[in-house]
Amino acid sequence: MVMLNVSRLAMMNLIYTGRGWVVPASAFGLSLIAEIITRSLTGDESYYQTHGGPLALALLLSACVTYVAFQSLYRPSFNSDGLPIPAPAPKWIDHSFMFVNMRIWAPLLVIISFGLVGFRGL
């Protein structure tokens, strides 16, 4: 029983660490919303699969969500005078998904979205 819990914990660390779950959650959630909106606007079941525009837009929005999440995680704390509070020891928590840090995922999602437009068109 204990072995099962240890292996499950190790598998979670392989997939994401810290708040790295934001990357796939926002990418999947926004692409699902984009597909639902595309189907309702066009009335075509295959438009989302044949054109890259809706998915590229969803990935661009996901890049924005990932960037904002990363910036909010590493924002320093301030006291009442507006001065940054020095940390006693620099504890850098790694927020990553698939061994890639969150600060890399935002530009990577932008590159992927431009690649989709290049390969599939708008």
Looking at residue 10, what is its pLDDT? 55
- Exposed (0-12), middle (13-18) or buried (19+): which is 79, by Cβ within 10 Å? exposed
* Domain residue spans of the chain: 32-73+95-122
pTM for the model:
0.75
The residue ranges of the chain whose pLDDT is under 50 are 1-2, 90
Q: Sign of the C-alpha dihedral, residues 95, 97, 101, 103?
A: negative
Which residues have C-beta within 8 Å of that of residue 37, sequence separation ≥ 6? 54
Looking at residue 1, what is its pLDDT? 47
| Percent of the chain with pLDDT strictly greater than 90 | 37
